Structure 1
Amino acid sequence: MASYEHVQFLRKAAFNIIVNARDDQAALKKYAQALETILVYLDRPEIRDLAAGNIYLKFCGFNLRLDLAETYGKLKQQDKAVKTLQEINDISWTPILLKVMKDRPGLAKMADDPRVQKILSVAAIPRQLWPSEAAYPYSATLSVEERVAGLSQFWHQVRESFVYFDNVPELDWNKVYLEYLGKVIAAGTTEEYYRVLSQLAPLLRDGHTNIYAPPELSKKLYARPPLRTAMLDNKVVIEAISSPALKARLAVGDEVLSIDGIPVQDYAKQYILPLVSSSTEQDRQLRTYGYQLLAGDADRPITLGLRNMSGLERSEVIARSGHADIEKKEAFIFKMLPGRIAYLSLDHFESDEGVRKLEKVFPDILQAKALVLDIRKNGGGSTQFGADILSYLTRQPIPFSKSYVRSDNGYSRSDGADIVWKVIGGKGSEAHYSRKRVFDGPVAVLTGAATFSAAEDFLVSFDTLQRGLKIGEATGGSTGQPILVYLPGGGHGRICAKRDTYPDGREFVGIGIFPDVEVRATRESLAAGEDVVLNKAVSLLNQRKQ
């Protein structure tokens, strides 16, 4: 990153030349010369080599050329301005250029130049090749051509970008295309089409590779009652209920014996498992018997065959929709436990809300003898927010996962059908912070199968730092960076295009991150309202602080 920071320093120094003299011709000429000098530096062979593996450094040339083109325009040097804009297209064809040209008055004046119009038409090409969501409005039926196009788009992008084919070595992706071609051609409606496509992505066995139906079909396909189930000791039990009205009819710990008259495990294997995209057995079980088990048509209630803790059996008809009394669980809960052990739940990293919560209660945490961070329900979000939280627990740099993307393309494959890897992170990939105070007491992190994605990135950093204990169950075993593919009818697909490992190369995607101390809830502990994982953490932390 030293070269990137150096370029940013030089760019700021150059800007200072005109900060108080923006229209002064002498200052503008001096500014242009400074920008030209920086671009000469970026064009040095060793810096070009660095930029090939650092997108931030590479796009410094983009930003500098925008500044330079605008400056040439102010100096009435139109030919130089046009040449500089063309050099931007030599770096990247990006529709962002069209927006920047409109937003910067100095550049907007050049828009009537036919040479500039040609440059902008080239920059707009990616919009034509990869249309946005707005290009695919919802329709209850799709033409055969549209249905085949959607399958082809997803299939092709998987072949070009997917990074975990080694987790499905037996899968013949070319054969899959031919099999699904007939299925999508036979699909009569958009709903039927997406029911077919929803079974395609799970063949890749990756938690970050999915196909989702259009929002207009959500109530038809994804409606769920306000309760959560889980598989415990080979039994499906009710784990949580979020409606007071349902609590009067159901109880945490009730065993689910059947759904709509079908034995629950048979129902799950027939109707749910084929739709589950997952990287590990624990995530597959969580989704099959948890997240997705009760999903379906909002207008069709489900009949649950139940057995309570006393062994009495009964049936309950539960609506998938229309519950007006749904209780929302707070995502970030702080409390001080006996023995001055601080507890903070972090249920997502989708925003900086968790970081702000930690900062708010940090004075209390500093007074604690130990800390428990609960990420058992954290499905991910941004890796950065996890790093921000860890920065309050150590003065060490926060290490990130080692990451890879595919760099093979049609040209590279002309000499052989190879998949080529490009490292975009590693032991040098880390974040540096300067906190005034950090908590340096014992820490335990609670984990489970629902610990997923950016929450696992957090755990990789925590583990690499050897900052404390991991207690609970193995994580979901799936992270990465999915790319979006917009599909006909308004649906979309995700494809995992970034592969992650520990900084030292250890794999966890497709495996999970295992706890130092394994603790599992039981049906009895659920029914009693006992959190056995948290209790174990408190017990171990009390031993450590003595």
Structure 2
Amino acid sequence: MMKKLCCLMVLAAFGMLPEADAQEPAMHTVGIEIKGDTMIYRNVSVPRRHPAGVRGRAWAGYSHAPWSAEEKLFALSKFWMETKRNYAFMDRFGARTWDSLYMSLIGPAQRTRDDAEFYRLLQRFCAQLGNEQTFVRQTRDFPQSAVCFEDGWVLRLMDVGGRVTVSEVSRDKAEIVPPGSEVVEVDGQRVEARLEEVMSRVSASTDRVRRRIAVDELLLDLIGTSHEVEFRRPDGTGVCVHLVNRRADPSQMPECVSLPGRSWEALREDFRLEWYPDDVAYLKIGSFRPGRVFKAFHDAFPEVTARARKLIIDLRFNERGSNYMAAEFLSHLTRDTVLCGGMWRTRIYDASLSSWGAGAVAADTVNNARVRTAYQHYNDEAFSEFERSEYRFPPTREVLVVPTAILVNDATSSAAEIFLDMAASQPHMTTVGATTSGSAGAVAFYELLPGLGCGICTREVRHSDGREFVGRGIAPDVAVEDTLEEMMSGRDAALEKALEILR
């Protein structure tokens, strides 16, 4: 036990280290030329990151050659090809549908006016798959912002009961647009119409998550872009504000005010321990990454085990991490020594088998396993057998088994959903909140162009009993939705329900 804990603490320590200078590249690849079938890369020197880690500053004066029409076609084609070969759910989406979408974008992609327009086209292409673990990302210094604007404006938005609501605003602007105000129009366009356009390029596994992300990115645009935004304040009065996107500078962020307990930092806090009456311990777990969170949990666990009679685990906005770390956390809250972390399969391909299946038709596969296998490989329909993920822990580890409520929402995803799958077998645990993200799986990363890449979900993950949750989410045992009135008064409906259940 001690050896295992020591190893995990070493991982935690490394997770806390800042990036070493030796990891910073001295060169960066830019401006590909395509000559025939050969790609020619150019390397140029780039400045190192700002000592405080603010990449925007270090790269502020660094310009990029715009992507050419040939480069855009290459990036589009590579994304189409790698997705068709690797995407775990291509059998559901349909290879022919994917091919048709690709063909329809060949001309428009080459005619896009600039890199930003091409990037958004690629985002819309990717979003058609409806999978949060499959995405495109740019790493060029696109000067854009979603929350910072000129004249000292900071503005964060959230979806509350179907309304685009101001959750956080810079303090000196709160009299103009107080937290709780509703966005009514953007640039003369009704907010729902604007959201539809943004949602069309959001990669998400459910409509609810797609809308949440689109609300976050409602005002995302290039630096210097002007917006006229109309708000309806909590008192019913309206106000129109002129906003100009500005580059975010973490070192000069103004003080902000938010809906009680709904600031960005509070919602995405890595770890927090609080105590409620009757020795109810509340643990905020912001991620299942190795590092700070596990160390904080490990340090707090002796106090929790000595005092807690009941427990609340808050996994809302827990979107990242390792399945093993999720199992490691849960292993201290159950006496089970084996935890089943779902089942999964992945796409497979064998070129020789594919050649044998080239002349086969579906009727040939009936009662002929060999032909069926060859046919599946030729038609990109071959999968590995399902495997079960199991995690084993020694019976001597320190555990706390008490009535436990787990708080979840639509930003509970990935390893946190694996945690919920394992916790479903625990009779002393109850989930409270909203349906989760429905997003899990291993991601393969590919470079499309220098400064442009993609991630593709390569695993189809299911519950331990075979039920599907990717694209659907995991429904809580007790459903609770926040209202704006509760938020304005500082209430947390899911937390209150959890305390009621544990009473």
Q: Tell me the TM-score range normalised by the shorter chain.
A: 0.7 to 0.9
Q: Which residue of 1 aligns with 2:384?
A: 422
1:251 counterpart = 2:175: no
Deviation at 1:164, TM superposition (A): 1.4
Q: Which residue of 2 aligns with 1:220?
A: 144
Q: 1-side partners of 2:223 and 2:165: how far apart?
A: 22
Equivalent residues, number: 408
Q: Which residue of 2 aligns with 1:147?
A: 72
1:363 counterpart = 2:363: no
Amino acid at match of 1:198: Q
Structure of larger gyration radius: 1
String of CA shifts for 1:132-167, please: whole Å, max 9, x gaps.
9989x9843223332221111111111111011355
Q: 2-side partners of 1:336 and 1:269: how far apart?
A: 42
The answer (yes or no) to whether the contact 2:169–2:179 under 8 Å persists in 1 is no
Q: Which residue of 1 aligns with 2:196?
A: 269
The answer (yes or no) to whether the contact 2:273–2:283 under 8 Å persists in 1 is yes
String of CA shifts for 1:221-243, please: whole Å, max 9, x gaps.
666564432333332222x3164
CA distance 1:248–1:228, shift in 2 (3 Å): same
Correspondent of 1:378 among 318, 323, 348: 318
Q: Which residue of 1 aligns with 2:261?
A: none
Computed over aligned residues only, the root mean square deviation of the Cα atoms, in angstroms, reads 2.7
The answer (yes or no) to whether the contact 1:447–1:515 under 8 Å persists in 2 is yes
Correspondent of 2:103 among 154, 178, 183: 178
Correspondent of 1:410 among 351, 367, 373: 351
Q: Which residue of 1 aligns with 2:56?
A: none
Amino acid at match of 1:278: A
The answer (yes or no) to whether the contact 2:169–2:178 under 8 Å persists in 1 is no
String of CA shifts for 1:89-147, please: whole Å, max 9, x gaps.
xxxxxxxxxxxxxxxxxxxxxxxxxxxxxxxxxxxxxxxx9999989x98432233322
Deviation at 1:466, TM superposition (A): 4.2
Q: How does 1:37-116 map to 2 (within 5 A)?
A: none
The answer (yes or no) to whether the contact 1:276–1:284 under 8 Å persists in 2 is yes
Q: Which residue of 1 aligns with 2:160?
A: 232
Q: Which residue of 2 aligns with 1:539?
A: 500
Correspondent of 2:168 among 230, 233, 241: 241
Q: 2-side partners of 1:132 and 1:279: how far apart?
A: 35
Partner-residue secondary structure (3-state), 1:333? strand
Q: Which residue of 1 aligns with 2:283?
A: 344
Q: 1-side partners of 2:325 and 2:117: how far apart?
A: 39
Partner-residue secondary structure (3-state), 2:158? strand
Q: How does 1:143-542 map to 2 (within 5 A)?
A: 143-169=68-94, 172-217=97-142, 219-220=143-144, 226-238=154-166, 240-241=167-168, 243-270=170-197, 272-289=198-215, 291-321=216-246, 324-325=253-254, 328-329=265-266, 330-366=269-305, 367-396=307-336, 397-414=338-355, 415=357, 416=375, 417-423=379-385, 425-426=387-388, 429-434=390-395, 436-542=397-503
Q: 1-side partners of 2:169 and 2:147: how far apart?
A: 15
Partner-residue secondary structure (3-state), 2:183? strand
CA distance 1:436–1:171, shift in 2 (3 Å): same
Partner-residue secondary structure (3-state), 2:424? helix
CA distance 1:181–1:282, shift in 2 (3 Å): same
Amino acid at match of 1:183: P
Partner-residue secondary structure (3-state), 2:407? strand
CA distance 1:246–1:494, shift in 2 (3 Å): farther
The answer (yes or no) to whether the contact 1:206–1:278 under 8 Å persists in 2 is yes
Q: 2-side partners of 1:133 and 1:284: how far apart?
A: 37
The answer (yes or no) to whether the contact 1:208–1:494 under 8 Å persists in 2 is yes
String of CA shifts for 1:19-60, please: whole Å, max 9, x gaps.
xxxxxxxxxxxxxxxxxxxxxxxxxxxxxxxxxxxxxxxxxx
Amino acid at match of 2:84: R
Identity of aligned residues (%): 25
CA distance 1:223–1:190, shift in 2 (3 Å): farther
The answer (yes or no) to whether the contact 1:131–1:486 under 8 Å persists in 2 is no
Q: 1-side partners of 2:293 and 2:451: how far apart?
A: 32
String of CA shifts for 1:445-479, please: whole Å, max 9, x gaps.
10001111121122111123445010000001111
Deviation at 1:194, TM superposition (A): 1.4
Q: 2-side partners of 1:537 and 1:160: how far apart?
A: 44
What runs of 5+ residues in structure 1 fail to find an aligned partner? 1-128
Amino acid at match of 2:253: A
Q: 1-side partners of 2:144 and 2:397: how far apart?
A: 52
Q: 1-side partners of 2:98 and 2:185: how far apart?
A: 35
CA distance 1:177–1:516, shift in 2 (3 Å): same
Deviation at 1:246, TM superposition (A): 4.2
The answer (yes or no) to whether the contact 1:347–1:375 under 8 Å persists in 2 is yes
Q: 1-side partners of 2:111 and 2:292: how far apart?
A: 46
Deviation at 1:294, TM superposition (A): 2.4
The answer (yes or no) to whether the contact 1:224–1:298 under 8 Å persists in 2 is no
Partner-residue secondary structure (3-state), 1:492? strand
Deviation at 1:171, TM superposition (A): 6.7
Q: Taking structure 1 as the reference length, what is the TM-score of the superposition? A: 0.69
Q: 2-side partners of 1:131 and 1:421: how far apart?
A: 36
What runs of 5+ residues in structure 2 fail to find an aligned partner? 1-37, 47-62, 257-264, 358-374
CA distance 1:202–1:519, shift in 2 (3 Å): same
Amino acid at match of 1:473: A
Q: 1-side partners of 2:204 and 2:474: how far apart?
A: 15
The answer (yes or no) to whether the contact 2:155–2:169 under 8 Å persists in 1 is yes
Partner-residue secondary structure (3-state), 2:253? coil
Is the deviation greater in 514-523 or in 397-406?
A: 397-406
Amino acid at match of 2:236: G
Amino acid at match of 1:342: A
CA distance 1:249–1:425, shift in 2 (3 Å): farther
Q: Taking structure 2 as the reference length, what is the TM-score of the superposition? A: 0.75
Q: 2-side partners of 1:469 and 1:184: how far apart?
A: 49
String of CA shifts for 1:236-256, please: whole Å, max 9, x gaps.
222x31643344543332111
String of CA shifts for 1:338-357, please: whole Å, max 9, x gaps.
22111111122233322111
Structure with the bigger RCO (C-alpha within 8 Å, sep 6+) is: 2
CA distance 1:481–1:131, shift in 2 (3 Å): farther
Partner-residue secondary structure (3-state), 2:351? coil
The answer (yes or no) to whether the contact 1:223–1:297 under 8 Å persists in 2 is no
Partner-residue secondary structure (3-state), 1:411? helix
The answer (yes or no) to whether the contact 1:140–1:191 under 8 Å persists in 2 is no
Comparing both structures, which one devotes a greater share of its residues to helix? 1
Partner-residue secondary structure (3-state), 1:305? strand
Is the deviation greater in 170-179 or in 319-328?
A: 319-328
